[in-house]
C-alpha cells in the first residue's frame, strides 16, 4: 500500500446518458493520479460538475450548485484541506467565459471534447494553487484553466479502456450533431457529428464484457446516424454494428439511444427482427405531431414518416415498445398543432416518454422568433400531454402483470434479499433472489405493478429465496 492518502473525487452528472458515460471516463482518466470516488462533495479533493445546457433550468442549476460546492471548499480550507473545482460538459462548452466571470473560484472549465487532458489540467491547477499559497493569497481568484476547444484528434484515442461497473454498461459510439434543429444547443456544445471506428467499438465492447457487462447500451447524440469506418475502410451503419456486437460471447443484450427518425434505415429496423440480443425497446424522439411545427423545427421528417417507421418496426418486431421526447409550446404552435401531437400519441401508444416545455436557448434560431408561446399555455399543454403519456405508461406496465420476461438482474434492491433488474422493455423489475444471480438473465413472472417498478417471482419456483412456512 502506498503512503500517500488516496485523493477523493466527486462527480455530479446532469443531463443525458452521454454525460453519464463521460463522467465515468473522467473518473477513469483521473484514477492513475490517485483519485478514488468520494461519498459526497464535502469530503472530496476534487469536485467536477458535468453539466447540461439543453434547457434553461438545467443550465441555471449549475450556478446554484457551484455556490454550495464553494461553501464545502471553505469548510475544508478551515480544516487545512484543499479542493479543486471543475465545471465540465455542455454548459462549460457554451458558457465557459461566463462561468469564469460569474464564478471565478472555479479552477478548471473544460468542454466535452477535452476531458482526456484532465490530468494535465489538474496538475496545472494544483501548481497554481500552491504558488498562490506561497504568496499568502490562498482562496483568492484561481488561475482559471479554460479548455473548450474541439480538438482535431478525438478524445477516444487518448482514453484508457473502460471497465464495466456492473452488468449494464454504456458505450459511446457516436458524438455531436450536424442536424441543427432550430431549438437545440447540442450542435454548438458537442460539435460536428463523429463516428468511432468499428474496431475501436468492438474492442471496447469486448473489454466491457470481460469485466462483467451483460448488456451494452450504445450511445450517441444521434446514435443511429452512426457511420463508422469498418476494418477494410468501408462504412458501417448501426444495423451492421449491432449484428457484429451480437457475436460477442457473453453479451446478452444490446440497446442504443438516442435515435433520430431520419436515420432509422431499413437495415437497422430489420436488425430488430434478426438479432435477438437487440432489445425490443426504442427511444425515438418525435418532438411534435404537427407537420408545420416539425418543418419549423428543421426535423426533416413528417408525422406520417414517423408513423411509417413505427409500423415497419412493429411488423419486424411485434412487441416493440416505444419511447419518445416531446416539446410543447414551440414558437408558433397553435391549439391545432398541439392536438396533432396528442393524436399521434394516441395512435402510436408509448411505453414511456419524456416531455418538455420549449425553452428558448440563446444562439439558436427559434429563440429569436416573435411567436413565443405564453408560459400558461405551455403549462396547460404539458399537463395534458403528460397525463396522456402517463396513462399509456401505466397501461403498458399493467399489461405486463401475469407475463413472463427475461430480466437482466443488475443490482441489490432497497429491501433485504431483493434484486433489481430490467425487462426487455426497460421496465425496472424486482424479485427476491440470491445475490449470486446479479449479472444473469432470469426468467421471471411479473405479479404486481408498483409505482416505479414491477414485482416479480421466479418462473422456476426452485430459485425462489422466499421461504414459506
Ligand atoms: N438527438 C436527439 C435529442 C437530444 S436532446 C433527437 O434529436 O431526438 C434531448 C431532448 O431534449 C430532445 O429530444 C428535446 O425533446 C429536448 N430539448 C432539446 N432542446 C430543447 C429546448 N430548447 N427546449 C425544450 N426541450 C428541448
Ligand atoms: Fe439537437 Fe436536433 Fe441534433 Fe437532436 S438532432 S441533438 S434535437 S439538433
Ligand atoms: Fe445536455 Fe449536453 Fe446531453 S446539453 S442533454 S448534456 S449533450
Round to whole Å and give the CA distance between 358 and 331. 8
Round to whole Å and give the CA distance between 164 and 205. 10
Ligand 3, atom 7, lies closest to the CA of 186
Omega before 258 cis (within 30°)? yes
Atom of ligand 3 nearest to the CA of 51: 6
Round to whole Å and give the CA distance between 104 and 143. 9
Our mutation pick for probing the ligand 2 site, out of 15, 221, 285, counting the most ligand atoms within 8 A of Cβ, is: 221
Q: What does the pLDDT look like over 132-155, one tens digit per residue?
A: 766 545 444 556 898 888 876 778
Round to whole Å and give the CA distance between 323 and 354. 8
Inter-residue contact 369 to 331 (CB < 8 Å): yes
Backbone φ and ψ of 109, nearest 5°: -120, 120
Whether the CB of 177 sits within 6 Å of ligand 2:
yes
Whether the CB of 89 sits within 6 Å of ligand 3:
yes
Question: Where residue 165 falls among pLDDT bands split at 50, 70, 90?
Answer: confident
pLDDT at 2: 47
Atom of ligand 3 nearest to the CA of 18: 3
Round to whole Å and give the CA distance between 375 and 358. 10
Residue 441 has pLDDT above 60, yes or no: yes
Q: Please, which residues have CB within 8 angstroms of residue 433's CB and are 6 or more apart in sequence? A: 409, 417, 418, 419, 442, 458, 463, 464, 465
Whether the CB of 91 sits within 6 Å of ligand 3:
no
Whether the CB of 16 sits within 6 Å of ligand 3:
yes
What CATH topology corresponds to 157-399?
A: pyruvate-formate lyase- activating enzyme (3.80.30)
Residue 113 has pLDDT above 70, yes or no: yes
Measured N-to-C along each axis, helices 335-348 and 375-398 cross at an angle, to the nearest 10 degrees, of: 10
Q: Which helix (H) or strand (E) holds 444?
A: strand 441-449
Q: Please, which residues have CB within 8 angstroms of residue 77's CB and are 6 or more apart in sequence? A: 83, 138, 139
Q: Which residues line ligand 1 (CB under 6 A)?
A: 54-55, 183-184, 186, 221-222, 258, 260, 285, 287, 325, 327, 356, 358-359, 361
Greatest CA separation for the chain? 73
Q: What does the pLDDT look like over 283-315, one tens digit per residue?
A: 999 999 999 999 999 999 999 999 999 999 999
Quick count: other Cβ atoms within 10 Å of Cβ 145? Answer: 19
Q: Please, which residues have CB within 8 angstroms of residue 117's CB and are 6 or more apart in sequence? A: 110, 147, 158
Q: What is the mean pLDDT of residues 407-430?
A: 96
Q: What does the pLDDT look like over 26-52, one tens digit per residue?
A: 999 999 999 999 999 999 999 999 999
Task: Tally DSSP H helices, then E strands, for the chain.
Answer: 12, 21
Q: 184 CA to middle of ligand 1, Å?
A: 6
pLDDT at 155: 83
Round to whole Å and give the CA distance between 265 and 237. 9
Question: Where residue 325 falls among pLDDT bands split at 50, 70, 90?
Answer: very high
Q: 384 CA to middle of ligand 3, Å?
A: 26
C-alpha cell at 131: 504558488
Inter-residue contact 170 to 219 (CB < 8 Å): yes
pLDDT at 468: 44
What is the distance, to the nearest Å, from the Cα of residue 59 to the centroid of all Cα atoms in its chain? 16
pLDDT at 1: 45
Q: 58 CA to middle of ligand 1, Å?
A: 13
C-alpha cell at 166: 456492473
pLDDT at 168: 97
Structural domain boundaries in the chain: 7-147, 157-399, 401-463
Q: Which CATH number fits domain 7-147: 3.40.630.30, 2.60.120.380, 3.40.50.12160, 3.30.450.40?
A: 3.40.50.12160
Q: What is the mean pLDDT of residues 337-353?
A: 98
Q: What is the mean pLDDT of residues 13-23?
A: 95
Q: What does the pLDDT look like over 394-408, one tens digit per residue?
A: 999 999 999 999 999
Q: 445 CA to middle of ligand 2, Å?
A: 38
For residue 355, give the 3-state DSSP assignment.
strand
Whether the CB of 181 sits within 6 Å of ligand 2:
yes
In this structure, CATH architecture of domain 401-463 = Beta Barrel (2.40)
pLDDT at 150: 84
Residue 216 has pLDDT above 80, yes or no: yes
pTM: 0.94
Amino acid at each position: 500500500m502506498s503512503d500517500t492518502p488516496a485523493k477523493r473525487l466527486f462527480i455530479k452528472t446532469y443531463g443525458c446518458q452521454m454525460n453519464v458515460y463521460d463522467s465515468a471516463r473522467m473518473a477513469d482518466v483521473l484514477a492513475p493520479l490517485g483519485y478514488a470516488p468520494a461519498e459526497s462533495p464535502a469530503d472530496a479533493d476534487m469536485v467536477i460538475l458535468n453539466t447540461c445546457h439543453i434547457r434553461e433550468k438545467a443550465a441555471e442549476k449549475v450556478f446554484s450548485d457551484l455556490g454550495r460546492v464553494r461553501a464545502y471548499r471553505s469548510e475544508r480550507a478551515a480544516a487545512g484541506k484543499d479542493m479543486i473545482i471543475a465545471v465540465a460538459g455542455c454548459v462549460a462548452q457554451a458558457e465557459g467565459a461566463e462561468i469564469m466571470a460569474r464564478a471565478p473560484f472555479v479552477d478548471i472549465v473544460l468542454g466535452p471534447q477535452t476531458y482526456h487532458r484532465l490530468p494535465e489540467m489538474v496538475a496545472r491547477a494544483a501548481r497554481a494553487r500552491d504558488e498562490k499559497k506561497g504568496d499568502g493569497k490562498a482562496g483568492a481568484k484561481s488561475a482559471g484553466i479554460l479548455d473548450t476547444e474541439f480538438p482535431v484528434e478525438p478524445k477516444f484515442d487518448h482514453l484508457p479502456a473502460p471497465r464495466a461497473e456492473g452488468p449494464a454498461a454504456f458505450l459511446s459510439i457516436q458524438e455531436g450533431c450536424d442536424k441543427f434543429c432550430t431549438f437545440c444547443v447540442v450542435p454548438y456544445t458537442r460539435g460536428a457529428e463523429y463516428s468511432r471506428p468499428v474496431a475501436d467499438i468492438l474492442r471496447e465492447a469486448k473489454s466491457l464484457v470481460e469485466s462483467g457487462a451483460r448488456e451494452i447500451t450504445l450511445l450517441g447524440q444521434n446514435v443511429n446516424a452512426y457511420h463508422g469506418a469498418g476494418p477494410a475502410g468501408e462504412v458501417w451503419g448501426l444495423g451492421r454494428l449491432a449484428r457484429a456486437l451480437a457475436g460477442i460471447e457473453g453479451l446478452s443484450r444490446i440497446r442504443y439511444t438516442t435515435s433520430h427518425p431520419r436515420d432509422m434505415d431499413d437495415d437497422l429496423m430489420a436488425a430488430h427482427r434478426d438479432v435477438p440480443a437487440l432489445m425490443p425497446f426504442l427511444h425515438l424522439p418525435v418532438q411534435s405531431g404537427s407537420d408545420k411545427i416539425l418543418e419549423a423545427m428543421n426535423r426533416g421528417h413528417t408525422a406520417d414518416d414517423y408513423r411509417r417507421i413505427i409500423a415497419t418496426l412493429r411488423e419486424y418486431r411485434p412487441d416493440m415498445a416505444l419511447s419518445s421526447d416531446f416539446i410543447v409550446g414551440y414558437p408558433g404552435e397553435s391549439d391545432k398543432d398541439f392536438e396533432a401531437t396528442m393524436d399521434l400519441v394516441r395512435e402510436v401508444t408509448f411505453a414511456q416518454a419524456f416531455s418538455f416545455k420549449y425553452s428558448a436557448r440563446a444562439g439558436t434560431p427559434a429563440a429569436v422568433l416573435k411567436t413565443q408561446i405564453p408560459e400558461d399555455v405551455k403549462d396547460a399543454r404539458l399537463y395534458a400531454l403528460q397525463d396522456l403519456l402517463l396513462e399509456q405508461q401505466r397501461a403498458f406496465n399493467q399489461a405486463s402483470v401475469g407475463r413472463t420476461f427475461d430480466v437482466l438482474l443488475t443490482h441489490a434492491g432497497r429491501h433485504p434479499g431483493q434484486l433489481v433488474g430490467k425487462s426487455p422493455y426497460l421496465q425496472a423489475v424486482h424479485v427476491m433472489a440470491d445475490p449470486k444471480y446479479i449479472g444473469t438473465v432470469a426468467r421471471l413472472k411479473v405479479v404486481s405493478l408498483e409505482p416505479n417498478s414491477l414485482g416479480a417471482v421466479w418462473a422456476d419456483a426452485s430459485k425462489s429465496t422466499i421461504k414459506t412456512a
